[in-house]
Amino acid sequence: GGMAEVFRARQPQPVGEPRLVAIKRMLPAIAAQAGSRAMFEAESHLGTLIQHPNVVEVLDVGEEGGQPYLALEYVRGLDLGRFTRFLTREGLSLDLPLAIFVVRQLLAGLHAVHIACQADGTPLSVVHRDVSPSNVLLSKYGDVKLADFGIAFAEFQDSLPQGSVTDHAQGKLGYLAPEQVTGDDCDRRADIFSGAAIAAELVMGRPLFGGGSELAILLAIRDAEIHPLIEMSDTLPAGLTDVLGRALSRNPEERIATALELSNLLAPYEDAPESALRRGLAELVTSAMHLVENGEVPPTPLVFEEVLDAALAADPHLRAVTEESSPDAGPVTSRPGPLYPHVEDGPQDVDDVAALEGGELRIVTAGGLHFGPWTYARLVEAIMLGKVGPFDRLKISGGKDRMLGRIPALERHIAPHGLTTTASEPPPKPTKATTLDLANGGITSALAWGALRRDTGLWLCEFGGSRKEVYLKDGTPAYVTSNLAGELLGEYLVARSVISRGELDMALAVLPRYEGRLGDTLVAIGLIEPVQLFQQIAGQVREKLLDIFMWIGGRATYHPDVEAPTAAFPLDLEPWSILDEGVDRRLAHGLEDERFEGRRDVPFTRCDPLPGGLDPNALPIPIRRILEALEAPSTVNELTYAFPDLLGGSMTSVPRSLVVLAHLGAIVLPE
């Protein structure tokens, strides 16, 4: 693996007989990284403290030539990942009792990990964090053993050097828990989710979160979309889907809390003697080993560098981006005269990226500007920056003009801007036009009322040359677009040192190979891990929205019943959390001083009656408590003194609630 290499050695057993063991030591490149040795030693310490028949045993810890190593129990067999590929290849599936046997054996080992203690009895509070088929070993004797504590977290790891433990989930994608995907804190319940995902896979005969791109898998996990399992419930014993569904709850608080509890709930479905199940597993593993060792069931690794090298070697059109990197570069001429005449397009034959990437691309805008020749990657960038739009026309290698908005291969990039001035179809007209002034934080009103009314629609926000589209779904921000170059994903990642400028240029060079999707390209060529990319995209889109709170001008127009583009990266933003953070930023930068300057001892008053449609019970508890308190006029200082516990006693909690209430028209500001 990436952390260490494993090979066989011999170690005497107590009776003096030789014994095969596995030696795990750090690869030189990994050993040179800061903190990596401390992580390896932490794994060693964990292994020596956990002794259980369903956990791979650490037999010895030592050092050779200045390099640490672990001597591990050698499990003669194969991992669960290769085993399931063997079953798929042979058209086999595990009988339900045998599948449950494997899962319960895994859960027994996992429970031992979770309850492990220091020598003095102090709980270690271990979270394995990488419970996935590749870390579940099956022996030819029917044993099931949990392996690899390389990224396990425990309390004693707080003493490791800063940076020695990565701050993003490293587990195998399809078996991560939702909180690992979103980058939130996780405890042993994350391992329960992963174990349940493995259980669902063995019961279903296919991965629960498989198929699609890496981001699609992560989205399904984040939202705990377990429909494939639910759809099979009629073919499974009564109650089994409910048990697994509880273990796969999106909210850890609603999840089955321990591996032992989950194992006990699954016990009724292991309806066969353990000896017979162990014997059946041993026979299948032995058969699978034979095929694996003969190369008939390959491990199917993904080596992204090889993909990139092959793409570059096979396609002379792919090249490093230098002068091609900016949509504003290159020959541009202007032709005076009327707008480019409208020509009715016939059926389009440019329905995939391959038809675009090899040609010479030239653009004629609706205003008569000529751009090109451009590469496909450069055209996509220009669309995303708003330099060209759906009504502009594309000519490929001197062929027929085609309207960009009618080319399927480009539709996903144009869709987010479908309601701007260059939209191919006008937005549906609202029954009542709604426009807000953004100069004084009007986005607060837009999001607060949207959350209360559970709006689905679009807020089109414009200020100077900046234009952003905020899509709501049932009152929750679902997607945000921006025409600002600095808010493009690539620029966002470079600004945060996630990738370098040169790496971004390299990704843009091979963008056509991945259908113009920068995120997929970065993952495919190994520049970023999928989970890290997922979290960065979520942060990028969140920042696009929060930036609007800081605008000192502009306006927002609401278009109801407009859905977010199908190609959009769906957010998972709690609207009141966004309001808290956005208003906090305004307070920190003095943009709300006008409301409070010299007024901390002047009483605020609740409006009577409240604005139509405002139900206080629909407000978050902190804001509701402030509104209830204002039935009697109160000052900021009085409210702060009355609610010291409000949102952890933050000094801005009362002003923040007052700002939101003011934008809802629920309070009267003091003169």
- 80 neighbors 297 (Cβ within 8 angstroms): no
Strands 20-26 and 4-10: antiparallel
| Nearest by Cα to 526 from 505, 509, 503 | 503
Whether 505 sits among the annotated catalytic residues: the reply is: no
Would you give the DSSP letter of residue 447?
A: H
Strands 67-73 and 58-64: antiparallel
- 41 neighbors 68 (Cβ within 8 angstroms): yes
- 599 neighbors 670 (Cβ within 8 angstroms): yes
Cβ neighbours, 10 Å, residue 512: 23
Report how far apart, in Å, the C-alpha atoms of 618 and of each of 145, 454, 612, 656 are: 49, 11, 13, 17
Q: Strand, helix or coil at 140?
A: coil
- 23 neighbors 58 (Cβ within 8 angstroms): no
| Nearest by Cα to 405 from 397, 419, 393 | 393
Residue 660 neighbours by CB under 8 Å, 6+ apart: 444, 448, 579, 583, 623
> What are the φ and ψ backbone dihedral angles of 485, each rounded to 5 degrees?
-60, -40
H helix or E strand, kind and range, residue 410? helix 408-414
Tokens of 195: 């174990």
- 144 neighbors 53 (Cβ within 8 angstroms): no
Q: Name residue, tokens 């027994």.
A: 108
| Nearest by Cα to 113 from 80, 135, 142 | 135
Q: Name residue, tokens 């650490």.
A: 58
Q: What is the CA radius of gyration of the chain?
A: 29
Tokens of 434: 């709604």
Of the residues 60, 79, 95, 130, only one is catalytic, namely 130
- 188 neighbors 115 (Cβ within 8 angstroms): no
Compute the distance between CA of residue 196 and CA of residue 218 in angstroms, rounded to an integer. Answer: 16
H helix or E strand, kind and range, residue 78? strand 77-79
β-partners of residue 394 are: 363, 402
| DSSP state string for 359-383 | S-EEEE-TTSEEEEEE-HHHHHHHH
Contacts within 8 Å (CB) and 24+ apart, 55-60: 55/109, 55/112, 55/113, 55/145, 55/146, 55/147, 56/137, 56/145, 56/146, 56/147, 56/148, 59/11, 59/21, 60/11
As a three-state string, the secondary structure of 234-294 is HHCCCCHHHHHHHHCCCCHHHCCCCHHHHHHHHHHHCCCCHHHHHHHHHHHHHHHHHHHHC
Strands 144-146 and 457-463: unpaired
Would you give the DSSP letter of residue 117?
A: B
Compute the distance between CA of residue 655 and CA of residue 660 in angstroms, rounded to an integer. Answer: 9
Which residues carry out catalysis? 130
